[in-house]
Structures are given as structure tokens and as C-alpha cells.
Chain A
Amino acid sequence: MTDSIHISLEDLTLYAMQALSSAERVPIRLHLAECEICRAELAAVSGDLALMAMSAEQHALPEGARDRFLTRIGAAATPANKIVEIDAYPAGPKPQTRRVQSWIPWTAAAALLVIAAGLGSLLYRTRLDLQHETALTSAQTDESRRAREVLEVLTSRDAQRVVLTAGTPHPVPTARAIYLASRGALVLQANNLAPIEAGKTYELWIIPANGSAPIPAGLFRPDAAGSASVVMPQIPVGVQAKAFGVTIENAAGSSAPTLPIVLVGAVPSAGE
């Protein structure tokens, strides 16, 4: 076999780009069906095209796109999808879906999100936990119990609500923790997080009031919009928290926080 009977790189490139007429495509297609060398070359050209495609300037998804997709694939637990979308794309023009910067709506939003978790639509973690909880109770019962518990935490008068912010004023990553020590229950929702490099993760810590070592309370990575949540990590019951912190750790997580603490929030003193 000589080079002359293979397809030229120029033509393979145009073929991969669909820039040839159908008459021009036919002989190439026939050759490709029989020639492994040219198929491999075509794959390499497609790799080049992937690079070219990815060079397009990146834009945020239109508002509601995620919701529309999840609805389409039937993951429709509607209220929750709406909330997730609000968290991920806060800048939308419609006032009724704009994220409100106060505690009450956020709590309600988180509650809805968590209810959906109970329904099994969104939170992978819940599902994974369940997979590993061997048949003491049925998964169904367990999920709804969990959802109920979370809802109770979110609506409890006793729950402590803490805002965590970065030390610098500018790109404002924030996280909100709701914590009920007596139940060992914790929900964190974070926004505007900086993307995190490969092999790293954010890790949430409870900093106990009695000065003992920080307690790991879940790993999380932000989505493309910088949002992330930790819902009901399994943590010991009854630990009074002085503060919550977030650090960056290796992907497997750590048993002790690595400085610096990128987000931190003190628990308000009693009565607040």
C-alpha cells in the first residue's frame, strides 16, 4: 500500500468538518469502512476539531436550561429543580425566580431542595448512603425519614444559622450552614465558589466550641456556576460548634484541615 491510495489529510479534515459535498463524501466513506489507518487518522483529526470547538468563548447557560433538561428526562421533582436552577444561575431577570439574599427564602429553598433529595431525584449522596445501608429498613422508608429529618432541621427554631465568607471582599464566595447540634444535623449551601483544580476538593469542618479537633463534615465541588451543597453529612450528635470552616484538600479528603481556611463563619452567640 502506498500513500496515494489513502485519503489525504486535507480531505479527511474536510470530511470530519462536514465541509464536503455528498458526492465527495461517498468515496471517502467507502475507503474508511475498509482502512484502519485512515480511521485512526480521522480520529486524530476529530481530536483537533474538539480542540477547535472548545476554543469557543464560554457562556453561562440560559436561565432555566437545567430545569428544562431535568424535566425532560423525567427527573422532574419540580420545586427542587427550580431551586437548583436558582442557585446555579442567580443573575436571571425574572424577579420571581431571582435568588433572594435573606435567610427565610433561602431556608425554604433549601427545604424544598432537601425534600427532593428525599424523593431521590437530585442528591446522589443520599442514594449512595442508602446503597450502603443494608436492609434494616426499606430504602423507601429511609429516604422519606431522611427528608423529614432534614426538613425539621431547616425549620427548627433551635437550629444555628451561620454565614461563611472569605476574608477578602471581592469575588464573594459564600456558604450558609444550618446546624442543629442536638441532632447532629447539618446542611450547607455554597455559592460563587472558585473552581477547584483536578485532584482537589473543598472540605467542610465543624470547629467544636470545646477546643477539640475540627470535625470533617463532608466534601464538595462547585458546579460550573460555583454552587455546591452538603446535606446531612454523618457527624457526631451533640457537638456544640464555635464555627464552621471550609478548606481545600486532596480529592480523597483529609482528617485534619489544611490551611488556609478559605471560608469561615462563627456561630452566633446564644440568643441571636
Chain B
Amino acid sequence: MSGDNSNPISPTGRSSFNQERTRVAAGDDALMDGVRSKDQAAMAEIFDRYAGLVYSISLRVLNDQGYAEDVMQQIFFEVWERPQSFVPGRGSLAGWLSVVARNRAIDHLRRGKPSDSIDEVVLPAQSNLSVEAERRLMMEKVRTRLELLPKDQQESLELAFFEGLSHSEIAAQTGIPLGTIKTRIRSALHLLREAVQA
């Protein structure tokens, strides 16, 4: 038993704790800096934070675990290879990855119809979606608002967003006029934005 328990933390101990704190507090921007300098641990941390989110979105679109994982793997691999695709300050990494995940999954669904490369997705600066608790709260609001939409409006939005149907395909499938579909989708999304900002 050592006799120095009156001062249990050695100076080296303190500095180590501070470093630990640096790691815990590392924001997405710091991690992406790490990725840009090819730090695999930083990339692993990004993966741990968002792979589940990206996978879940792809799975919602593709309804197939294997394909959904392929899309997810490819997106994170591209982040690793081309981290400059994501421009910090242009919006949250979580939001960007979410839109890219949806778009890539839709591309996969429509095989052969290429779309924008991932770097074209630009998001507004917004609240901190990197914090899981905040994200969850926000999603609660979004889901609640979605459920409140009239059924046919909800359906138009989901068909366009998760099924990747074009507005003309939705019109053909539902018998609703093109213009109405456009308006419904637009206003539904706007209601979601309001629900989150409320």
C-alpha cells in the first residue's frame, strides 16, 4: 500500500485525464480533420457515430440488409477516400450523411439511373445533429408531425422520398394530378421543418 493517497492523482494522471477529455469531446469537425489526415481511429469514430443511421436509411429504401450495407459501406469508404466532399460549416455531418444515404439508396434502387455525386449535397447550418439525444428528440417531432399529415399527403411524400418514385410515377400510381403532388410534397416537407423549429 503506498502512502501517497492524500494526493491520489499524479501530475501525469492529470494530463492523461485532460487528453481523455479531448477525445470524448471531439466534435465531428475535429474527427473529420483527423480523417483528412488519414487517421483511422478518427474514421472509426465517425463510423461508430453514424453508420447505424446511414444503414437504417438505406434499409428503409432498399428493404434488403445486404444492399443496405453495401450502400452504407460505400458511403463511408468515400468519406475516407474523399473527406473533402463534406464541407464543414455547410451543415451537419449527420444531415449530410442522411441525405447522401437516401440518395445513394435510391440510385441503387433505380440501377442505371445515375444521379448527383455526393459532394453536390449542401445543407443549411443547423442545430447540432451530432448529438444523438438531440437527433432523437428532433426525430420524435418529425415522426409525430408525419403522422398528423393527411394520409394521401403522407403517402405522396413517402413514395417520393423512400420509394424514389418521380412525381409523374406517383401521379400515375395514385391518380392524383401532377401539380397537386408537387404541392403536397413541398408543403409536407415544410411542415416537418416547422415542427422541428417549433
Binding site for B on A (CB under 8 A): 9-11, 13-14, 17-21, 39-40, 42-62, 65-66, 68-70, 72-75, 88, 121-125, 127-129, 132, 195, 197-198, 201, 208, 210, 212-213, 215-216, 218-221, 223-224, 233-240, 251-253, 255
Instruction: Tell me how far the C-beta of A219 lies from the nearest C-beta in chain B, rounded to whole angstroms.
Output: 5
Instruction: Tell me how far the C-beta of B107 lies from the nearest C-beta in chain A, rounded to whole angstroms.
Output: 8
The interface residues of chain B, by DSSP majority, are classed as helix
The verdict on B121 contacting chain A, using a C-beta distance below 8 Å, is: yes
In the complex, what residue of chain A is closest to B192 when comparing beta carbons? Answer: A51
Give the contacting residue for B91; candidates A43, A62, A223; CB below 8 A: A43
Give the contacting residue for A124; candidates B12, B42, B57; CB below 8 A: B42
The verdict on B8 contacting chain A, using a C-beta distance below 8 Å, is: yes
Give the contacting residue for A42; candidates B9, B16, B122, B133; CB below 8 A: B122
User: Interface 1/0s, chain B 28-59, versus A by CB < 8 A?
Assistant: 00000000000011111101110111011101
Q: With a CB–CB cut-off of 8 A, which chain B residues contact A210?
A: 1, 5
Provide the bound-state CA to CA distance between A56 and B95, in Å: 13
Instruction: Tell me how far the C-beta of A206 lies from the nearest C-beta in chain B, rounded to whole angstroms.
Output: 8
Q: A21-B168, A65-B55 are in contact. List 20 more A-B contacts (CB 8 A).
A: A13-B186, A14-B185, A17-B160, A40-B124, A46-B95, A46-B124, A52-B102, A54-B53, A57-B56, A57-B60, A59-B59, A66-B51, A69-B76, A208-B5, A220-B24, A224-B48, A224-B52, A233-B16, A236-B2, A240-B1
Instruction: Tell me how far the C-beta of A68 lies from the nearest C-beta in chain B, rounded to whole angstroms.
Output: 7
Contact A213 B21 (CB under 8 A): no
20 contacts between A and B (CB under 8 A): A14-B167, A18-B116, A19-B164, A44-B193, A52-B192, A56-B57, A56-B60, A59-B55, A69-B47, A124-B45, A197-B131, A198-B131, A198-B133, A218-B17, A224-B49, A233-B17, A233-B20, A234-B17, A253-B20, A253-B24
Contact A70 B99 (CB under 8 A): no
Contact A19:B160 (CB < 8 A) given known A65-B73, A68-B73: yes
Q: With a CB–CB cut-off of 8 A, which chain B residues contact A128?
A: 19-20, 22-23
Instruction: Tell me how far the C-beta of A177 lies from the nearest C-beta in chain B, rounded to whole angstroms.
Output: 16
Give the contacting residue for A65; candidates B56, B72, B193; CB below 8 A: B72
Counting contact residues on chain B (CB < 8 A from A), the size range is 35 or more
Contact A52 B142 (CB under 8 A): yes
Contact A212:B20 (CB < 8 A) given known A54-B139, A234-B13: no
